[in-house]
Amino acid sequence: MISFKHVSKSYTGTEKAVNDVNFEVEQGEIVIFLGPSGCGKTTLLRMVNRLETITEGSILINDQDIGELNEIELRRKIGYVIQSNGLFPNMNIEENVTIVPDLLGWDKKKKHNRYKELMQLIGLDPMEYRKRFPNELSGGQQQRIGVIRALAADPPVMLMDEPFGALDPLIREKIQDEFLQIQREVKKTILFVSHDIDEAIKMADKIVLMRDGEIMQYGTPSDILIHPKNEYVSQFIGRDRAIKHLSLRTIAQLQEEIGLVDIDQSIVDSKQVNVHENLKDTLAMLLNQEADQVIVHDDNDEVQGAITIDRVQRYLHLEMRQKPAQAREKEKVIE
Amino acid sequence: MNEYLEYLRINASYIWGLTVQHIELVGIAIIIAIIIGVSIGIYLTTNEDLAETVLAAASVLLTIPSIALFGIMIPFFSLINQGIGFVPALVALVLYSQLPIIRNTYSAIKNVNPAFIDAANGVGMKRRQRLVRVEIPNALPVIMAGIRTAVVLNIGIGVIAAFIGAGGLGTLIVQGITRTDMYSIVTGSIVVSLLAIIADTVLLLIQKRLTPKGIEN
């Protein structure tokens, strides 16, 4: 668990880059620091491994104040991934991946085994790449190597500073998926800086939305999309927040809440969709008018029913109006 | 032409002896200059305030006419009975090499991509580890370029050493001038030029070998 307690950062003569930040991160969560450039998100991230000094307040990892730890040892226990060029060009891939184990004094065999393990994690042939250098790899491959380098000494905490920001959109999505897959296995506590709202919605368990060094809202992506706390937040996440929210929900969830419609057997022109498809893509498909009817089936290819724009709209109404209203009612009763 | 070849034949061992003397002088001077210059260059990257002063001082050193610098050495080294000869020549050459070596070392390390420095700090390298594992390897081509400049410079300036009795190929030129012996002057000049070209080529090969494979273009 990581706690930020009244954390502030000021450079001499300027206003605060980070101003009285308070929040807690649970173990195994991905928390994304989101905001425009200059909002202090990177500074906040870099304070965790003390690449930036903390002016006021403290950051605790598992109740241990990081200010009291030796900074070199602290950094070796925290994985660190940066946007681009973070690999050392003078070292080959194996040396790059095993740099932290090497600094920690692991023996050769242990390092090599760890290298092989990590390369398999991202589906690259360890032997083919070990003697190659970063400049011989594509941008996407370099970034994946950067990620496994951070994982090498199995640190409980990872810091990632716009790790996928320099990649083109197609590769970025692929690597995001791959990373989520890895995270499901390794369950690290991850602090992640991004300026991309879609990336944050996709990757984050929680989002820290920042402006001018202050937290505007801290919550789950769904929470922020449904209840933006203030004008700034709702502006930042955009007018299409309902549509964005649909990307967090699947047809299966809709089916559970309000059910699907019956299939009209007389319609010939129909398309199939899996029940685990997210609602944003489903809606896009419906809007594209690709067929007269969209039939939902489950993983065993059993037909569940049909989905329509009207269903999606009903579901949104439930999620964004009825449920919040019910929640408010409940709060009143408790009061 | 035949006459010149005859000159070379008669003087071959004399010329060879002077060449070896020249190489010794320049070679030892360069080794000392590298040790001092690279160390100072690296140190300056940790001390910005001093860096400007030292680089300016090294620049001034290089503007002193070489013959004057050799002359200045004489009274100082007379104090330890080394007024003329090898020692003052060596010191003058070491001083002359400092600017290219210090400046290149300093700016090469300063110009290492900040992302690598950030990554090095981020993975928990100590100052020294960062220097040895990241900064120097990535700065090496530029540091070597400085050393090459210094070597070529020294082979040329080493000629002046003959004036203060340190021998070397300058002897051929000095004698040639006083005796209006064209063959002697030409021979001295050609051998100095060849030496510079060979040294630069050899150092370039060394530089390519030392440069980590991943930062070759």
Question: Domain check: are A83 and A143 in the same one?
Answer: yes
DSSP summary character for residue B85: S
Q: Is A50 near chain B, with CB under 8 Å? A: no
Tell me what pLDDT residue B75 has: 84
Question: Domain check: are A218 and A144 in the same one?
Answer: yes
Question: Domain check: are A303 and A232 in the same one?
Answer: no
Q: Confidence class of residue A84 from pLDDT cuts 50, 70 and 90?
A: confident
Q: With respect to residue A335, please indicate whether it lies within any of the assigned structural domains.
A: no
The CATH number that applies at residue A68 is: 3.40.50.300
- Measured between beta carbons, the chain A residues lying within 8 angstroms of B137 are 90
Nearest-angstrom CA–CA distance, B90 and B24: 10
Nearest-angstrom CA–CA distance, A3 and A1: 7
Tell me what pLDDT residue B10 has: 87
Residue of B111, B112, B117, B123 best to disrupt the A interface, most CBs of A under 10 A: B123
Secondary structure class of A10 (helix, strand, coil): strand
Q: In terms of DSSP H, where are the helices of A90-153?
A: 93-97, 99-103, 108-121, 126-129, 139-151
Instruction: Write out the residue range of the structural domain in which residue A106 sits.
Output: 2-240
Those residues with Cβ within 8 angstroms of residue A46's Cβ, 6 or more apart along the chain or in another chain = A52, A159, A161
- Measured between beta carbons, the chain A residues lying within 8 angstroms of B213 are 92, 133
- C-alpha distances out from residue A304 to A54, A266, A297, A300, Å: 55, 17, 5, 11
Q: With respect to residue A264, please indicate whether it lies within any of the assigned structural domains.
A: yes
Phi and psi based region of residue A61 (left: phi greater than 0; alpha: psi -120 to 50; beta: remaining): beta
CA of B123 to nearest chain A CA: how many angstroms apart?
A: 6
* Partner residue facing B119 (CB), from A73, A74, A88: A88
Question: Domain check: are A28 and A75 in the same one?
Answer: yes
Amino acid symbol at B31? I
Burial annotation A268-285 (CB, 10 A radius, 16+ → b, else e):
eeeeebebebbbbebbeb
Q: With respect to residue A215, please indicate whether it lies within any of the assigned structural domains.
A: yes
Q: Answer whether residue A335 shows pLDDT above 70.
A: no
Question: Domain check: are A287 and A153 in the same one?
Answer: no
Q: Answer whether residue A42 shows pLDDT above 70.
A: yes
Question: Domain check: are A123 and A267 in the same one?
Answer: no
Question: Domain check: are A80 and A211 in the same one?
Answer: yes
Amino acid symbol at A207? I
CA of B133 to nearest chain A CA: how many angstroms apart?
A: 8
Instruction: Write out the residue range of the structural domain in which residue B167 sits.
Output: 2-215
Burial annotation A151-161 (CB, 10 A radius, 16+ → b, else e):
bbbebbbbbbb
* Partner residue facing A88 (CB), from B121, B126, B134: B134
A80–B119 CB contact, under 8 Å? yes
Those residues with Cβ within 8 angstroms of residue B150's Cβ, 6 or more apart along the chain or in another chain = B30, B33, B34, B37, B96, B97, B100, B101
Q: With respect to residue A318, please indicate whether it lies within any of the assigned structural domains.
A: no
Secondary structure class of B47 (helix, strand, coil): coil
A87–B119 CB contact, under 8 Å? yes
CA of A85 to nearest chain B CA: how many angstroms apart?
A: 6
Number of A–B residue contacts, CB under 8 Å? 73
Question: Domain check: are A198 and A267 in the same one?
Answer: no
pLDDT digits (tens, 9 = 90+) for A107-164: 999 999 999 999 998 989 999 999 999 999 998 899 999 999 999 999 999 999 999 9
Contact B161, B83 (CB under 8 A): no
Tens-level pLDDT at each residue, chain B (217 residues): 788 888 888 888 899 999 999 999 999 999 999 999 999 999 999 888 899 999 898 888 888 888 888 888 888 888 887 778 888 889 889 988 888 999 999 999 999 999 999 999 999 999 999 999 999 999 999 999 999 999 999 999 999 888 888 888 999 999 899 998 889 999 999 999 999 999 999 999 999 888 888 887 5
Nearest-angstrom CA–CA distance, A118 and A156: 16
- Split into its structural domains, chain B has a count of 1
Q: With respect to residue A267, please indicate whether it lies within any of the assigned structural domains.
A: yes
Q: With respect to residue A321, please indicate whether it lies within any of the assigned structural domains.
A: no
Nearest-angstrom CA–CA distance, B143 and A71: 31
- Split into its structural domains, chain A has a count of 2
Tell me what pLDDT residue A58 has: 94
Phi, psi of A222 (to 5 degrees): -60, -45
Question: Domain check: are A18 and A81 in the same one?
Answer: yes
Burial annotation A57-68 (CB, 10 A radius, 16+ → b, else e):
bebbbeeeebee
What is the value of ipTM here, to two decimals? Answer: 0.83
Q: Where a domain ends, among A185, A220, A240?
A: A240
B124–A103 CB contact, under 8 Å? yes
A74–B118 CB contact, under 8 Å? no
Residue B154: name the closest of B77, B92, B83 by CA.
Answer: B92
CA of A239 to nearest chain B CA: how many angstroms apart?
A: 36
Question: Domain check: are A50 and A84 in the same one?
Answer: yes
Nearest-angstrom CA–CA distance, B217 and B215: 6
Contact B164, B73 (CB under 8 A): yes
Nearest-angstrom CA–CA distance, B14 and B3: 17
Q: Over chain A, what is the mean pLDDT?
A: 91
Those residues with Cβ within 8 angstroms of residue A261's Cβ, 6 or more apart along the chain or in another chain = A305, A306, A307, A308, A311
Tell me what pLDDT residue A194 has: 94
Q: With respect to residue A131, please indicate whether it lies within any of the assigned structural domains.
A: yes
Q: Is A163 near chain B, with CB under 8 Å? A: no
3-state percent breakdown (helix, strand, coil) of chain B, nearest 5:
85, 0, 15
- Measured between beta carbons, the chain A residues lying within 8 angstroms of B143 are none
Q: What dihedral angle (degrees, nearest 10) is formed by the CA atoms of A297, A299, A302, A303?
A: -10
In chain B, whose CA is at the least distance from the CA of A48?
B122
The CATH number that applies at residue B136 is: 1.10.3720.10
Q: With respect to residue A266, please indicate whether it lies within any of the assigned structural domains.
A: yes
Nearest-angstrom CA–CA distance, B66 and B154: 10
How many CB atoms within 10 Å of residue B177? 12
Question: Domain check: are A235 and A260 in the same one?
Answer: no
Q: Where a domain ends, among A240, A264, A296?
A: A240
Question: Domain check: are A303 and A202 in the same one?
Answer: no
